[in-house]
């Protein structure tokens, strides 16, 4: 088998900046956003400029959420950008669409506040992106905008979409799972290696995300079994804007990997370079999103995106202190006079605490190195690391040991949790492996599929 290389990006969330992303209402919206908004056109153009000159591979995969929130003009402009890139670079492009690519009520911001530009419909998406996988497909499922592409003589790509006309983030029915199974079996019969791409993760990027229904494919185990037990052992995903590589085995002892990649326009912003060395070995490399043309106030692109991520978390703390009604509205918590009084008290306490003072409160000892660290900054670093991957809070580090002591302190009160898909989760193990990575490197790894 001849090795095959390709680049992969995801969650480009391209926004046509001329629609408007400025003003007081815009800034209030961005207080709670992980990803950038006004900057996305600039970031995407920098990404495609980099990939145009990149010589390692002549194939590009894009794992969904192509537009910011389904604006018609954003989809049209992104489609044009892809056509220009394809013509200039000669590279082949394969996309999957997702829930952010069609919307009856998208939004933008101008001097008058928030308004609704024209949205794209699901039925428009084929027209925008037909030249990026669909028209050259060797198998096509029109209802699901899903297809099979022959990447080389030895490798096929199975693109599956769980957003259809009128519904988003659906559970795959038996008919569509049957279609998927048929494509996998056909690849086996033809003696070619097949891997998959879907927007939604199939495995939780980090264990804690198993509690969030929207964080992965609905009834994911059915899809895992359908793929892995029919020779497809690898899927590339996006959606959660996090870097992660996870593996599981089916009841029939077949291995299955989910490689989730960070968004191109928010921390952590990375691309992947993937090498399929043979039917059983895949090499994953991560490449930072390049610098982009924007007034970043003297910051690097990485620093700029990181600050936006931290702004989101700090806003929650600040609202707890100073604007509990805004916080409750954001979290969709029913307002009550008691919470309006309690939230500011908690927020002010958190804002003044260090790791050491919090440790005394919960009666645990922590390493002197971290005692004076502001608790809010410690929380921000921990939350950000969950998305960045390779979480550093592992056993044997000052921060990791402190958190493990805290989890052991809580464990008698919360022994198990119920996952969003009905599974029973051990609280301590879930939290331990959420804050610390004890498994596969989330950035650069060699995967053994069989």
pLDDT tens digits, residue range 230-255?
999 999 999 999 999 999 999 999 99
Please say whether the dihedral angle defined by the alpha carbons of residues 232, 165, 101 and 315, taken in this order, is positive or negative.
Answer: negative
What is d(CA 119, CA 69) in angstroms, rounded to the nearest whole number?
Answer: 8
| pLDDT mean over 364-389 | 97
Alpha helices in 33-101 (DSSP H): 40-53, 72-89
Are 251 and 365 found together in one domain? no
- C-alpha distances in Å from residue 103, one per residue of 21, 30, 89, 281: 18, 20, 31, 39
Does 307 fall in a domain? no
Angle at 401 between CA 400 and CA 404, to 5 degrees: 85
CB 236 within 8 A of CB 195: yes
What is d(CA 343, CA 327) in angstroms, rounded to the nearest whole number?
Answer: 9
Phi first, then psi: give them for residue 98, nearest 5 degrees.
-155, -175
Confidence of residue 130 (pLDDT cuts 50, 70, 90): very high
Say which CATH number the domain at 27 has.
3.60.21.10
Per-residue model confidence (pLDDT) at position 246: 98
Does 36 fall in a domain? yes
Does 115 fall in a domain? yes
pLDDT tens digits, residue range 211-227?
999 999 999 999 999 99
Q: Is 234 exposed, middle or buried (0-12, 13-18, 19+ CB in 10 A)?
A: buried
How many domains, in total, are found in the chain?
A: 2
Are 232 and 152 found together in one domain? yes
**Domain end among 275, 293, 311:** 293
Q: Is 406 exposed, middle or buried (0-12, 13-18, 19+ CB in 10 A)?
A: middle
Does 197 fall in a domain? yes
Are 11 and 160 found together in one domain? yes
Per-residue model confidence (pLDDT) at position 134: 96
Are 208 and 90 found together in one domain? yes
Are 261 and 357 found together in one domain? no
Summarize the chain as % helix, strand, coil (round to 5): 40, 20, 40
Are 231 and 134 found together in one domain? yes
Per-residue model confidence (pLDDT) at position 205: 97
Are 61 and 152 found together in one domain? yes
Are 250 and 327 found together in one domain? no
> What's the half-sphere exposure (Cβ side, CA atoms, 13 Å) at 331?
16
25-32 long-range Cβ contacts below 8 angstroms, 24+ apart: 25/109, 25/113, 25/114, 26/109, 26/114, 29/109, 29/114, 30/308, 30/311, 31/311, 31/312, 31/315, 32/312, 32/315, 32/316, 32/330
Per-residue buried b or exposed e for 172-188, using 16+ beta carbons within 10 Å of the residue's own CB? beeebbebbbebbebbe
Which token pair is 245? 């590589």
Does 300 fall in a domain? no
Are 217 and 332 found together in one domain? no
Residue range(s) defining the domain that contains residue 260: 4-293
Confidence of residue 316 (pLDDT cuts 50, 70, 90): very high
> What is the three-class DSSP state of 445?
strand
Does 298 fall in a domain? no
Does 446 fall in a domain? no
What is d(CA 404, CA 365) in angstroms, rounded to the nearest whole number?
Answer: 11
Per-residue model confidence (pLDDT) at position 97: 98
First to last CA, the chain: 16
Confidence of residue 93 (pLDDT cuts 50, 70, 90): very high
Per-residue model confidence (pLDDT) at position 433: 98
Are 214 and 285 found together in one domain? yes
> What is the three-class DSSP state of 150?
strand
Per-residue model confidence (pLDDT) at position 149: 98
Are 220 and 179 found together in one domain? yes
CB 177 within 8 A of CB 223: yes
Residue among 115, 137, 117 nearest 126 (CA) = 137
- C-alpha distances in Å from residue 9, one per residue of 91, 93, 152, 309, 428: 14, 11, 20, 19, 33
**Domain end among 242, 274, 293:** 293
**Domain end among 293, 313, 333:** 293
Are 279 and 344 found together in one domain? no
What is d(CA 227, CA 222) in angstroms, rounded to the nearest whole number?
Answer: 9
Per-residue model confidence (pLDDT) at position 431: 98
pLDDT tens digits, residue range 44-69?
999 999 999 999 999 999 999 999 99
Does 213 fall in a domain? yes
pLDDT tens digits, residue range 133-165?
999 999 999 999 999 999 999 999 999 999 999
């Amino acid at each position: 088998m001849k090795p095959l290389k390709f680049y992969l990006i995801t969650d480009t969330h391209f926004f046509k900046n001329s629609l408007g992303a400025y003003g007081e209402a815009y800034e209030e919206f961005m207080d709670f956003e992980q990803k950038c908004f006004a900057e996305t056109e600039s970031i995407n153009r920098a990404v495609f400029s980099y990939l145009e000159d990149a010589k390692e591979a002549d194939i590009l995969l894009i794992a969904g959420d192509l537009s910011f929130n389904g604006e018609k003009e954003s989809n049209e402009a992104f489609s044009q950008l892809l056509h220009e890139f394809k013509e200039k670079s000669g590279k082949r492009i394969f996309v999957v669409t997702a829930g952010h690519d069609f919307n009856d009520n998208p939004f933008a911001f101008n001097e008058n506040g928030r308004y609704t530009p024209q949205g794209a419909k699901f039925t428009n998406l084929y027209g925008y992106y037909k030249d990026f996988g669909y028209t050259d497909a060797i198998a096509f499922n029109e209802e699901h905008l899903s297809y099979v592409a022959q990447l080389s003589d030895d490798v096929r790509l199975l693109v599956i979409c769980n957003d259809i006309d009128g519904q988003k983030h659906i559970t795959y029915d038996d008919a569509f799972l049957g279609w998927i199974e048929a494509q996998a079996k056909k690849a086996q019969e033809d003696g070619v290696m097949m891997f998959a791409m879907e927007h939604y993760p199939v495995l939780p990027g980090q264990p804690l995300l198993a509690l969030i229904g929207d964080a992965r494919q609905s009834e994911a185990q059915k899809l895992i079994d359908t793929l892995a037990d029919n020779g497809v052992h690898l899927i590339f995903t996006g959606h959660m804007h996090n870097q992660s590589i996870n593996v599981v085995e089916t009841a029939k002892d077949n291995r299955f990997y989910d490689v989730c990649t960070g968004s191109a326009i928010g921390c952590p912003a990375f691309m992947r370079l993937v090498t399929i060395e043979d039917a059983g070995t895949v090499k994953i490399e991560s490449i930072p999103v390049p610098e982009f043309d924007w007034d970043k106030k003297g910051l690097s692109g990485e620093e700029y995106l990181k600050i936006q991520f931290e702004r989101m978390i700090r806003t929650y703390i600040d609202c707890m202190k100073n604007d509990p009604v805004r916080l409750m509205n954001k979290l969709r918590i029913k307002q009550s006079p008691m919470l309006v009084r309690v939230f500011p008290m908690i927020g002010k306490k958190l804002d003044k605490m260090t790791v050491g003072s919090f440790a005394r409160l919960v009666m645990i000892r922590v390493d002197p190195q971290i005692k004076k660290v502001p608790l809010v900054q410690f929380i921000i670093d921990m939350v950000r690391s969950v998305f960045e991957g390779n979480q550093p809070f592992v056993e044997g580090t000052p921060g990791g040991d402190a958190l493990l002591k805290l989890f052991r302190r809580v464990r008698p009160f919360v022994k198990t949790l119920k996952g969003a898909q009905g599974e029973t989760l051990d609280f301590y193990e879930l939290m331990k492996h959420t804050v610390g990575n004890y498994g596969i490197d989330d950035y650069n790894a060699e995967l053994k599929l069989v």
